[in-house]
């Protein structure tokens, strides 16, 4: 069964958590809906200019949103006849085409730092970075422009709400597992099952299954679909002959550590000016991509 969703009108924010004794911790609520955020936290912490800038930014990204809002997902399909269902939505389609591929498929950088728009207010820039981090784990300038534009529209439209599954996000996982395992195909989802190796025939020309950390072996009838990064995938294939067979498609790759981003909001002592910054730093992470 699908999870039951409960609507919420916003969420809580904490700036500088743990620094209440120093007077630096600040708690406030992000409320959804028309003009609620703009006339509340944005006006209080950013000021009048920040509010005007935010309104201008939403106008500048309006064309990016029009297609996503006006064109139903069912109207967008692959194949030679893909254009036919879109003929009913020509105005919105032309708006997207006019933006160009680099804008519709690119990052939010042109809207943060130009040339399409420049966000100058420091508090607003920091808020956009924090919002983007919740979407992609990246600052706004490196997050999808289409995703950012849609969130800026969807959060601040009349009647906006957040849908959260009753019982927590685990209910979504349960529903996905049930969807996979239903029917007569005998499909099964193995949760908390770390993969030790991808097994091959002795000559290395065919994948035959998986071996889990527990020692359990899962045999494959046709093959194994793996979404592990290249650097993890090579470690999962223990057969040197198989690595040589796959050498043209799986090449040695230098591991690139992800960058951790977080927000730091506080005030400058005697001057009393609000200062916002997004700090990026290297983060050491465990090896990923080895769970089935």
pLDDT digits (tens, 9 = 90+) for 175-205: 888 888 887 788 888 888 999 999 999 888 8
68 domain-assigned: yes
49 domain-assigned: yes
Measuring CA to CA, which residue among 32, 50, 246 is closest to residue 153?
32
Measuring CA to CA, which residue among 248, 283, 286 is closest to residue 262?
283
236 domain-assigned: no
pLDDT tens-place string over residues 31-86: 999 999 999 999 999 999 999 999 999 999 887 776 555 555 444 445 555 555 55
* Separation of alpha carbons 174 and 176, rounded Å: 6
Using pLDDT thresholds of 50, 70 and 90, give the confidence band for residue 19.
confident
Segment 249-264 mean pLDDT: 45
Where would I find the H helices in the chain? 36-37, 48-60, 62-70, 90-99, 101-104, 109-112, 122-136, 145-154, 170-181, 230-236, 240-245
pTM attached to this predicted model: 0.57
Place of tokens 């099952």: 193
Share of the chain above pLDDT 70, in %: 70
30 domain-assigned: yes
In three-state secondary structure terms, 200 is strand
Measuring CA to CA, which residue among 207, 215, 287 is closest to residue 239?
207
**Is the dihedral angle over the CA atoms 275, 281, 283, 288 positive or is it negative?**
positive
Domain span holding position 18 = 5-78+87-164
Residue 292's pLDDT is what? 35
The more confidently predicted of residues 98 and 268 is 98
The more confidently predicted of residues 17 and 140 is 140
Q: How many domains does the chain have?
A: 1
215 domain-assigned: no
* Separation of alpha carbons 292 and 236, rounded Å: 12
22 domain-assigned: yes
End-to-end Cα separation, the chain, in angstroms: 23
Long-range CB contacts (within 8 A, 24+) of 12-16: 13/41, 15/263, 15/265, 15/266, 16/264, 16/265, 16/266
Measuring CA to CA, which residue among 63, 6, 274, 32 is closest to residue 131?
32
**DSSP conformational letter for 76:** -
234 domain-assigned: no
Long-range CB contacts (within 8 A, 24+) of 11-18: 11/162, 13/41, 15/263, 15/265, 15/266, 16/264, 16/265, 16/266
259 domain-assigned: no
């Amino acid at each position: 069964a699908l999870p039951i969703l409960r609507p919420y009108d916003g969420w809580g924010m904490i700036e500088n958590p743990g620094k209440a004794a120093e007077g630096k911790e600040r708690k406030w609520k992000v409320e959804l809906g028309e003009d609620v955020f703009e006339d509340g936290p944005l006006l209080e912490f950013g000021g009048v200019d920040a509010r005007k800038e935010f309104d201008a930014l939403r106008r500048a990204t309006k064309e990016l949103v029009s297609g996503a809002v006006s064109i139903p997902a069912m109207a967008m399909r692959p194949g030679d006849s893909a254009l036919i269902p879109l003929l009913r939505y020509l105005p919105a389609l032309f708006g997207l085409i006019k933006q160009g591929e680099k804008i519709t498929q690119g990052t939010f950088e042109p809207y943060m730092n130009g040339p399409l728009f420049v966000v100058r207010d420091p508090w607003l820039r920091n808020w956009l970075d924090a919002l983007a981090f919740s979407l992609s784990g990246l600052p706004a300038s490196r997050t999808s422009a289409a995703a950012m534009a849609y969130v800026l529209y969807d959060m601040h439209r009349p009647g906006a709400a957040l849908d959260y599954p009753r019982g927590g996000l685990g209910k979504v996982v349960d529903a996905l597992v049930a969807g996979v395992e239903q029917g007569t195909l005998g499909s099964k989802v193995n949760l908390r099952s770390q993969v030790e190796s991808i097994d091959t025939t002795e000559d290395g020309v065919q994948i035959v299954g998986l071996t889990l950390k527990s020692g359990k072996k899962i045999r494959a009838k046709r093959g194994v679909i793996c979404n592990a990064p290249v650097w993890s995938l090579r470690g999962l294939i223990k057969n040197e002959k198989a690595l040589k067979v796959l050498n043209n498609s799986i090449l040695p790759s230098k591991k690139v550590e992800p960058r951790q981003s977080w927000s730091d909001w506080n005030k400058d002592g005697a001057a009393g000016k609000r200062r916002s910054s997004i700090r990026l730093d290297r983060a050491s992470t465990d090896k990923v991509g080895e769970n089935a």
